[in-house]
Amino acid sequence: MANENGAPVTSPLPNGLDVVERDIARACTESRRERSSVTLIAVSKTFDARAIAPVIAAGQRAFGENRVQEARAKWPGLISAHPGLKLHLIGPLQSNKAKDAVALFDAIHSVDRPSICEALAREINLQQRAPDLFVQLNTGEEPQKAGVAPAEADAFIARCRDHYGLTISGLMCIPPLDDAPAPHFALTAKIAARNGLTNLSMGMSADFAIAIQLGATHVRVGSAIFGAR
């Protein structure tokens, strides 16, 4: 690991962050990819600033949160103290939280319905700040889960671009818990490719190595770094 100046640092988390870093590096090597092609998002939801600080000190720079309100409570101070941090919203976004989300987050991984598109387009225009936007797919078509059904993805991506004027960076998916993840990752990659999208947010603590093999550019890892919630 290295700090923001490129100097090596010693991680205080040998059984967490270091292990994840080694596993990502191994998956990249096996897939004949550069390590730099994969962004590790340390999912810090439910953990307070005191728990996050050692991970920042170890060199980690990208973090993920599920809720706008929780992120607002703990991240402004951390970002001020540690320039260069990147914050990703990986949980559902409500339209009435779009203002805060655009102001705080560098990437939003949960674009999945017209009301969100409209709210984001308005705030991006007002704030002149444009986070990276990922369309969330519901590859398992689970009724309890957010996301766009695969059959509707092409039309939704086109509407994001053409109607709302949004720049879509990539796709995000969360496979069903009891399914093998590989087919869901492969489907997400296929939809991304035919829509000219290069970023793929897929893979969590249990399956990020498989996701990297299938093209993930962003992996979202929480418990393997921070421990059980």
202-228: average pLDDT: 95
Contact 58, 11 (CB under 8 A): yes
Q: Could you tell me the CA-to-CA distances from 142 to 174, 200, 227 in Å, in that order?
A: 10, 20, 27
For 59-90, the pLDDT digits (tens) are: 999 999 999 999 999 999 999 999 999 999 99
Q: pTM of this prediction?
A: 0.92
Task: Locate 207 and state its tokens.
Answer: 């399956």
Please write the tens of the pLDDT for every residue from 102-129: 999 999 999 999 999 999 999 999 999 9
What pLDDT, in 10s, does the model give residues 14-71? Answer: 368 999 999 999 999 999 999 999 999 999 999 999 999 999 999 999 999 999 999 9
Domains of the chain: 17-226 (3.20.20.10)
First-to-last alpha carbon distance for the chain, in angstroms, is 25
List of residues 6+ apart from 168 with CB closer than 8 A: 111, 133, 134, 135, 157, 160, 161, 195, 197
pLDDT at 15: 63
> What's the token pair of residue 122?
């308005």
